[in-house]
Amino acid sequence: MRIHGIVSGKVQGVGFRYSTKLQADKYNLTGWVKNRDDGTVELEVEGDQMKIDLLLNDIKKGFHPFMQVNNIKTTILNHTGYKDFQILN
């Protein structure tokens, strides 16, 4: 399974991408995460659906008090076979 997501809220400048990568690695998920010019964060995550759901729940809760997630808009996509999880610039 692969999802594409846009995360809005206070998600830039607070370690969101790094925290997302750590959790994705913990769940053995692949894909990428990057900041967007509009202040949101974009991601694609690939792997087991239950583990993707765990990651999305972690994101919704926020990884620490300095982070605030207002919304996650997701779309299900076809599996592509990412090799690892990367932070993109």
Query: What structural domains does the chain harbor?
Result: 2-78 (3.30.70.100)
Annotated active-site residue in 2, 17, 28, 70? 17
Q: What is the pLDDT of residue 89?
A: 85
Predicted confidence band of residue 60 (pLDDT cuts 50, 70, 90) = very high
For 73, phi then psi, to 5°, come to: -100, 120
- Indicate whether 29 pLDDT > 90: yes
Residues near 74 by Cβ (< 8 Å), separated by ≥ 6? 3, 4, 5, 56
CA distance 78 to 88: 21
What rounded mean pLDDT belongs to the chain? 96
Record the pTM: 0.94
Burial of 78 (0-12, 13-18, 19+ CB in 10 A): exposed
* Active-site option among 28, 35, 57, 71: 35
Specify the pLDDT at position 10: 96
What confidence category does residue 63 fall into, taking pLDDT thresholds of 50, 70 and 90?
Answer: confident
Give yes or no: 36 in active site.
Answer: no
Which residue in 74, 73, 32, 14 sits closest to 49, CA to CA? 74
Which ranges of the chain would DSSP assign to H, the alpha helix?
A: 16-26, 49-61
- Residue 65: which pLDDT band, with cuts at 50, 70 and 90? confident
Residue 17 annotated in active site: yes
